[in-house]
Structure 1
Amino acid sequence: MPGAGPSLAEKAYLFIRDRLVMLDIKPGEPINEDWLSGSLDMGRTPIREALKRLESERLVVAFPRRGTFATEVNIADLAHISEVRRTLEPMATAAAAERATSDDRQELTGLLTRLKPATGIAGNTELLRTDLDVHRAIYRCVYNPFLEDTLIRYDNLATRIWCVFVPRLKGMAGHVNEHRPLLTAIIKGDAKKAAELTLEHVTGFETAIRALI
């Protein structure tokens, strides 16, 4: 139906997904369906639909007779995640620079105001949330739902790795603020510059994590 809102399963998916990504539900922690049902004011069927989708995205894992658990964050996955992101993200930001509408460019301009200095672990957590919002806004500008879904999936996995290392990160603000020139390039429609900056950004993420291992 045109204009229909998200289904209950979609609402449950988004609610659980972002808590898994930000490690509000910690790696290895069991998924409490009763708590989710009460928090979301819905039955278990849409929650279980959401969990099946999250399992396909490697954010939860289900064990027979034991239940469903948040997946562990495996640092060995970093190389695989980074390989996908180095390939797809520069192409995506170049496409975003070419395809973004005037409304999209206005939204991206608004996001620039959120890229402010923050300090401490709490500041790092807020920066990570801003980082997610910036990435997802850029992905929407690609206007390719299949590519957007793939980009979000791997960005979610990368963000979980970030979250594990947040207490030891000192340059988080600098990494997130790399979005300033990237957003500017997309807003101006400079596809080549956007792709170059994205490759640097993704490579810098992997380098920063490896320096802490």
Structure 2
Amino acid sequence: MGSKPKGLTDWAYETIKELILTLKVAPGTQLQIEMLADQMGVSRTPVREALLRLEQDGLTQVVPRVGVFVTDISKRDLEELYELRELLESRATEEAAQRLTDDDLDHIDRLLEESKVAVKKGNVEKFLETEIAFHHILTEGARNRRLISIMDGLRDLSYRWRIISLKSQENVRLTLIEHQGIAQALRQRDGPKAGKLMGDHIRSARERMIKEIDLGDETEVSSGAGA
């Protein structure tokens, strides 16, 4: 684990959050405060406070008299999160088309080139990194601080789904193609087209995720079902 910053609670929060988002701790897992504290070399207090913050984020759940658990990820969660992302991010992208600087657009082009290299090398971790950066720069391009904060939270909550979906090389390929189409519309400063393509992209991503994981009649994805 990385070096500890001044705030132990912040460090514990970021460390545990990363374990959850990257599926190193599976959905539904009970988190042992004492064990986490020992592993991180801190007292139980910052760990306990970190878990409470993660509950506010929707990543952990405190069950009275039982313990703290990593939240499951369900089909309903996926649909709700991506419905919000579709609404907000398509609008943000439309606004960004008029507000992104030429340097921003060059940055997007570089991200797409890095994505291509990652696809060729089969480096899913690097592709996910560039995919997240692509979406983030478009949200920032809307120049709306509240929207940026909301979207960052939604992306965190959907991160586990994205990891599962991008295990498929076909999903990775389609994601890159869709990003390229959005980038082209941004270069043309065509806000309505860019916004529509972003909405289509997020909707398609949601459909691919549902298809990737055979949920059947089950609505919950547990450690044994997907990660």
Q: What TM-score range do you get, normalising by the shorter chain?
A: 0.7 to 0.9
Q: Which has the higher mean CA deviation after the structures are superposed, 133-142 or 70-79?
A: 133-142
Q: 1:192 to 1:63 in 2, by over 3 A?
A: same
The answer to whether the 8 Å contact 2:115/2:126 transfers is no
Deviation, 1:182, is: 1.9
1:186-201 counterparts in 2 under 5 A? 186=186, 189-201=189-201
TM-score scaled by structure 1? 0.77
2:80 maps to which residue? Answer: 80
Cα deviation digits, residues 121-144 of structure 1 (max 9, x gap): x73344333322322232232332
2:95 maps to which residue? Answer: 95
The answer to whether the 8 Å contact 1:140/1:148 transfers is yes
Instruction: Report sequence identity in percent.
Output: 27
Greater C-alpha Rg: 2
Question: For 1:134 and 1:9, how far apart are their aligned partners in 2?
Answer: 30
RMSD across aligned positions (CA): 3.1
Deviation, 1:48, is: 3.7
The answer to whether the 8 Å contact 2:89/2:199 transfers is yes
Question: For 1:147 and 1:100, how far apart are their aligned partners in 2?
Answer: 16
Question: For 2:101 and 2:169, how far apart are their aligned partners in 1?
Answer: 36
The answer to whether the 8 Å contact 1:125/1:166 transfers is no
The answer to whether the 8 Å contact 1:60/1:69 transfers is yes
The answer to whether the 8 Å contact 1:108/1:187 transfers is no
Q: Which amino acid in 2 is paired with 1:109?
A: D
Cα deviation digits, residues 73-131 of structure 1 (max 9, x gap): 112322222221221110011222223345533433331221125379x7334433332
Q: 1:162 to 1:96 in 2, by over 3 A?
A: same
SS of the counterpart of 2:111?
helix
2:25 maps to which residue? Answer: 25
Gaps of 5+ in 1: none
What is the number of equivalent residue pairs in this alignment? Answer: 207
Question: For 2:190 and 2:39, how far apart are their aligned partners in 1?
Answer: 44
TM-score scaled by structure 2? 0.73
Q: 1:39 to 1:83 in 2, by over 3 A?
A: same
The answer to whether the 8 Å contact 1:118/1:173 transfers is yes
Cα deviation digits, residues 10-45 of structure 1 (max 9, x gap): 444444333322212211223354565567666554
Q: Which amino acid in 1 is paired with 2:29?
A: E
Question: For 2:145 and 2:156, how far apart are their aligned partners in 1?
Answer: 16
Q: Which has the higher mean CA deviation after the structures are superposed, 50-59 or 184-193?
A: 184-193
Question: For 1:184 and 1:106, how far apart are their aligned partners in 2?
Answer: 12
The answer to whether the 8 Å contact 2:31/2:70 transfers is yes
Deviation, 1:164, is: 3.5
SS of the counterpart of 2:62?
strand
